[in-house]
Amino acid sequence: MKPFKVILYYFYAPIEDTETYRDEHHLFCVQHNLLGRIIIAPEGLNGTVSGTPEDCEAYMNYVRSDSRFKDVQFKVEEHDRVAFQKLHVRVKDEIVNSDLGVDPLVRTGKHLEPSEFKEILNDPNVVLVDMRSDYEHELGKFKGAITFDMHNLRELPDHIHEIEHLKDKKIVTYCTGGIKCEKASAYLLEQGFQDVYQLHGGIIRYGLEEGGENFDGKCYVFDNRIAVEVNKVNPTVISRCYICDEPCDRMINCANAECNTHVPVCHKCGEEMEGACSPECKAHPDKRTYDGTGYYVSNSNHYHPLQGLKSQKKNIKKMKLAHRTEPAQ
């Protein structure tokens, strides 16, 4: 067992006072030493947090103790260190940017549990559709899945014509954790697709519960792991090093801060190029120091997890005071 955990989750439920809940949520994470990214919106929650097993368990209990989120499903993975370096709890208009104008609480695709998804993978009448960004499915995807050359979900309407001829098929959408498919499948229904499904819990849950069979490559994740293994049954590598074109499933962000492109780069090329994706980026004055991981965190002087809170100033002051008066370890 590894010493830390990473929790991925989302849940659609109305939140009226998002600012107050954000402050309360942020404070709980600080008190339990949790780092990560959490989005709070009028339509619900979306987050990935990391910490010790005890702190992660406390967090899951905290979220589920709210009657609005009692049925939330957490995808829990082990990790050898905390998967984030900062804590961000933000209020946004949507928990996943889409601009699709759909409400998953009103209508969405039928949920397929991982075991059900596994059973239909070889059905000739089933069409798998990947709802992730191009750099994600280039690293890994399900065998035979249709992918779109899009950078985010807002571009989905520009690609619907690519699957218009499949309206009589059973369409099964999938993404990393399931959240994008809630809106993507709802949008497909709105566009006239009749038989629409989604992998409940996404690629990550399928890997955890069913071994990830027939998922080729690795799954891109939005923390300092960058990419994780999914398939424990018949794994294969489908991506190639951006620089030397050798098979490679190791993902990095370009060291040039102005570029920051997400590409597979092997260890050898990573070292030779100092984490850059091209000679131009290697010579760029804004190139960051490459530490072998290809994951970078924006600079923040004297960062403390309490940053970002706009209210509950008394609680913050008390916590800071208590921190100052704690005996040295």
Query: Catalytic amino acids?
Result: 175
Under DSSP, the state recorded for 69 is: G
Cβ–Cβ under 8 Å, residues 198 and 113 = no
Find where tokens 């990830």 sit: 212
How far from 59 is each of 28, 34, 170, CA to CA, in Å?
A: 8, 8, 37
**Token pair in block for residue 26:** 């942020």
**Contact, 217 vs 208, CB < 8 A?**
no
- Rounded Cα gap, residues 160 and 157, in angstroms: 5
Long-range own/partner contacts, residues 306-309 (CB < 8 A, 24 or more apart): 306/30, 308/26, 308/87, 308/88, 308/89, 308/90, 309/23, 309/26, 309/27
Q: What is the DSSP string of 5-37?
A: EEEEEEEE---S-HHHHHHHHHHHHHHTT-EEE
Q: Which of 260, 307, 322, 317 lies closest to 90, judged by CA? A: 307
**What gap in Å lies between CA 92 and CA 80, rounded to an integer?**
31
Q: Tell me which H or E stretch contains 280.
A: helix 279-282
Characterize the bridge pairing of strands 4-12 and 44-51.
antiparallel
- CB of 100 closer than 8 Å to CB of 189: no
